[in-house]
Structure 1
Amino acid sequence: MSQSAFDRLGPAFPQRAPWGTATKLRAWQQEALDLYLARSPRDFLAVATPGAGKTTFALRVASELLHARVVRRVIVVAPTEHLKVQWADAAAKVGIQLDPGLGGRKRGRSRQYDGVAVTYAGVAAAMLAYQTMTANFETLVILDEVHHAGDALAWGDAVRDSFQYATRRLMLTGTPFRSDENPIPFVTYVEGSGGEKVSRADYTYGYAEALRDHVVRPVVFMNYGGPMRWRTKSGDEMAANLGELLTKDVSAQAWRTALDPKGEWISAVLRAADQRLGEVRRHVPDAGGLVIATNQTNARAYARVLESITGEKPTVVLS
């Protein structure tokens, strides 16, 4: 669980370590770790742009605290079942055994656990159990994508009640967030420029800094508009121009027409995007494209359209 545990890890790809287990900290991770260890805060909110390496930073903090016997248990709270398992796998690679609640021995993890990985919904379903654990053992609670604790009032209440006795609480998010109607426990809020309450981070590593450090890639969003025509269920013909100010209902119908895999608009957009990607690859040979669909059926349909345009079968990622 100390530095040596990280040093024993081999890269999965050239110059790239497994998710959450980089052997050498990036500059921002080291800076954030130094700040954390110097302050030894009970609550710490780290804001780092997606892909920057929040998991690696958090696991290093956990390793340091376990090694120094500041804490004896680690609880990781993640938004989804998939992510909690991913956390457990990443932690196991650095010698921290987290039980993701799958039962038995899974993926090489030990039966002797240092803690658990659970979802926010799972915390809400077993508040007393987590409250008892944090009251009886010195515990580090890592709240991943902590803004999800504000998705439902019950989740925020569960986080507060379950972890009010925790020795340390490390909160992670990819972007600052507002309090809205459900302020998140253990987060400090300050007044924003518009008078709203905005979270105050203890350490921030934004997209601009990550881009400067070559931690993330530049992202180009292409804007497309155009006229749409469709028939309603009653047989009326409707027309609208994407990009113009429309009512909510008309806008929804127009976008439904535009995003139909069988329609002309999405095919034209994908063809234009492929052409643009070809231009970018003259300067960045390994540049890639990403198409986000509203559901799995459309994702597969878009993949077929792309294959017909490019002659190459794209990778389809479903969740």
Structure 2
Amino acid sequence: MQGDLGEHRRRRGRRFLWFFGVSSLPPAWPERAAWGTAPSLRAWQTAALRGYLDRNPRDFLAVATPGAGKTTFALTVAAELLGRRLVDRLIIVAPTEHLKLQWAEAAARAGLPIDPTYSAGKGKISSDYVGVAVTYAGVGVNPLAMRIRTERFKTLVILDEIHHAGDSLTWGEGVREAFEPAARRLALTGTPFRSDVNPIPFVTYRPGPDGIPVSAADYTYGYAEALADHVVRPVLFLAYSGQMQWRTRAGDEVAASLGEPLTKDLTAQALRTALDPEGSWMPSVLAAADKRLSEVRRHVPDAGGLVIASDQDSARAYAKLLRSITGEAATVVLSDEKASSKKISQFSENDRRWMVAVRMVSEGVDVPRLAVGVWATTTSTPLFFAQAVGRFVRARTRGEIASVFLPSVPTLLSYASELEVQRDHVLGKAKGDADDADWFAAEEDLMARAQAGEAASADLEAVPFEALGSEARFDHALYDGAQFGHEGEVQVGSEEEMDFLGIPGLLEPDQMRALLRQRQEDRRKVRKPAAEERPADSIADVTTHEHLAVLRRELNGLVASWHHRTGQAHGITHAALRKECGGPAAAVANAAQLQKRIDQIREWAMRKTS
């Protein structure tokens, strides 16, 4: 057996190129390699590898934004350690069955045969393999068996998306017990933050400025850095609001506008109404997203779209809507289907337009051609948002842009505005903290359902609720932390909406910013003469309470966006606008005064972006 392993090492060694003294792997998916990666490692991967080899640590945490190439980095480390005989075996731990298969396929391309069918307690594997791939759930079922396997050899354990493991959770306890004796442990994550008080196994913590322990990564490569290096795509967020109507358990009918300041419960109910496939909001947004996809495909012919749904019933309903819109069947991926991995692989290789996936399947979707996304789930944790948006940022050609359609919900818009913010795992926060109470609890629940198979709509049926109707309106676009849009209400299907849906699919970031500003300004110039030419008897129409309400909503939305971008309190921003533009408080200001403040805050945003 030792002779077979030595021969395998010699065969594997001949496969690798040598780059600056270290081995250089091909990308995990060479047929669809991201721009700038082949045939050598990316700059951050080379720097991280050098740091690893110089320090030669037992534990190493690499934090890299989704799409940056964590898999390639980890497999390069594995090849180096195996080649230097510092380890004899490899164990890869992934969150889902699909990711486990992806790892095995990527490793095979790199000359490292991995058994993805292994389960704890199985015993021996074929001598053709140098390691196994398992899931966190599988480790949690029988950690002792995995520990025995780990102890038998000098083992490198790669812990993919380690943020899913926490000490008081089954997965975390199993991970610590199973892999404590490992010779080396390499932890990977694109989203290292958690909101509970449980330390992540094998992660180093150091006191922060306030004395609370904060996770310390050994190497960090964030979204902003990857964007500057053209490793990932920039993201254009397109937010849609609209009027919603629903009936409560008490029989009361409620009407509210998505995007207006509402209580947490009302916001959640308005969002559920918007996502109801029987209403008008989802068909309108899906049609808009398909128009955007058509524009992108003019420049990127195989670009695809992904709808992230809350449950299986909704996923199937959205697929029917897409078929009626496009005339083409959408690929539907459900978490409890055995064929889900095969469907994802097939979609990755073909040129079909749309795929619909249920919640946590999105974390296992590795389809570089995805360029347009629709957020159609009630899940709204920062961890899930970062992982979901990560499905669309994998760059293949310089100038590609990702487009993600969002409901105009404050929480989601804040995540979109803060996409480039780097977060670390902070210990010591109470689970009852208002901002952070259930971030990760929700994630663990979703992951458990993805592994065990979920009943369609089970959680939604527990809450009495009936959606009565919905309509969609284009609200605004978010790009590079700045907000762009048109004055007043923008109807779906209008020329004003097409100003944003029709943006070319290949643009450099500077070109994108300039084009968004230009289209916003051009539309403003067209509207201004039209308003001046309006007959005198129509003046009353534009000074009614409905128009004032529209302007106040627009102003409040811009102030909220400014808060997410700068941290400045809403009241301070409103006061600064009054000081700059004059006039009374927004509640009693006239249309001209409100419009002046809207123009002023847009100008601030443009100056800050420049």
TM-score category by the smaller chain? Answer: 0.7 to 0.9
Amino acid at match of 1:69: R
Q: Does 1:5 align with 2:15?
A: yes
Deviations 1:198-250 (A, max 9, x none): 32111111111222222211111212222211223553211122223434443
Alignment of 1:87-106 (within 5 A): 87-101=103-117
Which secondary structure does the structure 2 equivalent of 1:316 belong to? strand
Q: 1:69 to 1:300 in 2, by over 3 A?
A: same
Q: 1:308 to 1:176 in 2, by over 3 A?
A: same
Report the Cα distance in structure 1 between the residues aligned to 2:258 and 2:226, rounded to whole angstroms.
33
Partner of 2:22: none
- Given that 1:178 and 1:198 are in contact with CA atoms closer than 8 Å, whether structure 2 keeps it comes out as no
Alignment of 1:47-196 (within 5 A): 47-101=63-117, 111-150=127-166, 153-178=169-194, 180-192=196-208, 196=212
Partner of 2:33: 16
Report the Cα distance in structure 1 between the residues aligned to 2:288 and 2:209, rounded to whole angstroms.
39
Farther off after superposition, 29-38 or 122-131: 122-131
- Given that 1:179 and 1:197 are in contact with CA atoms closer than 8 Å, whether structure 2 keeps it comes out as no
Q: Does 1:262 align with 2:301?
A: no
Percent same amino acid among aligned pairs?
64
Q: 1:292 to 1:152 in 2, by over 3 A?
A: farther
Partner of 2:262: 246
Aligned length: 311
Deviations 1:125-164 (A, max 9, x none): 2222222222231110100000011286222222112111
Which secondary structure does the structure 1 equivalent of 2:45 belong to? helix
Farther off after superposition, 177-186 or 72-81: 177-186
Farther off after superposition, 270-279 or 32-41: 270-279
Q: Does 1:36 align with 2:75?
A: no
Partner of 1:221: 237
- Structure 1 position 166, deviation (Å): 0.9
Partner of 1:316: 355
Report the Cα distance in structure 1 between the residues aligned to 2:233 and 2:302, rounded to whole angstroms.
11
Report the Cα distance in structure 1 between the residues aligned to 2:173 and 2:200, rounded to whole angstroms.
9
User: Which has the greater radius of gyration?
Assistant: 2
Report the Cα distance in structure 1 between the residues aligned to 2:277 and 2:45, rounded to whole angstroms.
42
Amino acid at match of 2:354: T
- Given that 1:176 and 1:200 are in contact with CA atoms closer than 8 Å, whether structure 2 keeps it comes out as no
Q: 1:284 to 1:118 in 2, by over 3 A?
A: closer
- Given that 1:149 and 1:155 are in contact with CA atoms closer than 8 Å, whether structure 2 keeps it comes out as yes
Partner of 2:246: 230
Which secondary structure does the structure 1 equivalent of 2:355 belong to? coil
Higher helix share: 2
- Structure 1 position 6, deviation (Å): 4.2
Report the Cα distance in structure 1 between the residues aligned to 2:113 and 2:317, rounded to whole angstroms.
41
Report the Cα distance in structure 1 between the residues aligned to 2:161 and 2:14, rounded to whole angstroms.
28
- Structure 1 position 170, deviation (Å): 0.2
- Given that 1:101 and 1:117 are in contact with CA atoms closer than 8 Å, whether structure 2 keeps it comes out as yes
Report the Cα distance in structure 2 between the residues aligned to 1:159 and 1:85, rounded to whole angstroms.
20
Partner of 1:106: none
CA RMSD, 1 decimal: 3.2
Report the Cα distance in structure 1 between the residues aligned to 2:179 and 2:237, rounded to whole angstroms.
40
- Given that 1:177 and 1:198 are in contact with CA atoms closer than 8 Å, whether structure 2 keeps it comes out as no
- Given that 2:27 and 2:33 are in contact with CA atoms closer than 8 Å, whether structure 1 keeps it comes out as no
